[in-house]
Amino acid sequence: GDSVTQMEGPVTLSEEAFLTINCTYTATGYPSLFWYVQYPGEGLQLLLKATKADDKGSNKGFEATYRKETTSFHLEKGSVQVSDSAVYFCALSGRGQGAQKLVFGQGTRLTINP
């Protein structure tokens, strides 16, 4: 079945560092890909998405590119801030019957130190 594998956490960085959180997926066909973020004490919210190969999703300085050839959707940010501390989830929605639910990775906890 469809699955998502994320970089093991936790990840701790200093402010203004470059961030990469790796995400790879297994799916039948070409799924839509998402990054969700869970800030402390808040519910999950969509950060960005990409619906077809080579699409780049971006939001709040974060970017991720849908790479069909490597089945990846790595999350990047050039200069992180303390306020980016959160848990990040990579997810996909498949095609056909799988299109109506999100399959999530295990989450990566990110802590940014000032």
User: Which CB, 19 or 57, lies closer to another protein?
Assistant: 57
User: Which CB, 13 or 44, lies closer to another protein?
Assistant: 44
The continuous run of DSSP H or E covering 58 comes out as strand 56-59
Smallest separation (angstroms) from another protein to the CB of 46: 4
Smallest separation (angstroms) from another protein to the CB of 79: 26
User: Which CB, 14 or 45, lies closer to another protein?
Assistant: 45
Q: How far apart are CA 22 and CA 67, in angstroms?
A: 12
Q: Which residues bind another protein (CB under 8 A)?
A: 4, 6, 32, 34, 36, 42-46, 49, 51, 89, 91, 93, 99-107
Pair 74, 50: CB distance under 8 Å: no
Instruction: Return the exposure string of 15-29: e unless at least 16 CB atoms fall within 10 Å of the residue's CB, then b.
Output: eeeebebbbbbebee
